[in-house]
Structure 1
Amino acid sequence: MYNNHVNKKQKNGGLGYLLVGAGAAAWWLSKEENRSKFDGWMSQAKKKLNGESIPSDEKFPVQKAGNPHPDDIADNKMVEEGAQFAVDYYNKKEQ
């Protein structure tokens, strides 16, 4: 009889932890920022489970896009010319 009583307490205690965990998850997911993080984690998990590879930073083809190093003259010149093209295009469109 004593063992039956202990088992019921253990089952009810587990349910309590489950409810506290569900409440904490609901509170955390109430923020939009956290929901988007969670969606990202879930999509990564789905890709891993389906065997799809997720590109790592080392395999990504563009390492310094949009942020040229000040000492990289060729890259800075390219960025400068690109900006000049956009300015010329805008000026011609406005005239």
Structure 2
Amino acid sequence: MAKGNNRSLLLAGLAAGAYAYFSKQENRDKALVAFNNTKTKVNSYLDSQKTNKMGMTKAGHSDPHDIDDNNMVDEGAMTSVQYYNDEVQSKLNKSDKKEVDETTTFENHI
């Protein structure tokens, strides 16, 4: 029962403090300006989040009719394929040269 009384007293104290603060026109004006500034900032933040979500939903879901996006995806795929081919071919070329060098060296010794 003591908790309920403490809460009631706390709420009554907050209400009395708010009434005393907002009884002056100057304080009401300050509070209104602060509220409007906060509202503007929150709306701006929410709008920026909406913009980011629209950009994120496009990622990974290319539109077949979006030529620029498809070209970008195509170029990206070709870059990775080209890198893989260069790595594999360079390893194959090194191993082929090594085998040729070993054969030549062996034949020279006979």
Confirm or deny a common fold (TM above 0.5): no
> Which structure has the higher relative contact order (CA within 8 Å, separation 6+)?
1
TM-score normalised according to structure 2 size: 0.38
Structure number with higher helix proportion: 2
Q: Which has the larger radius of gyration?
A: 2
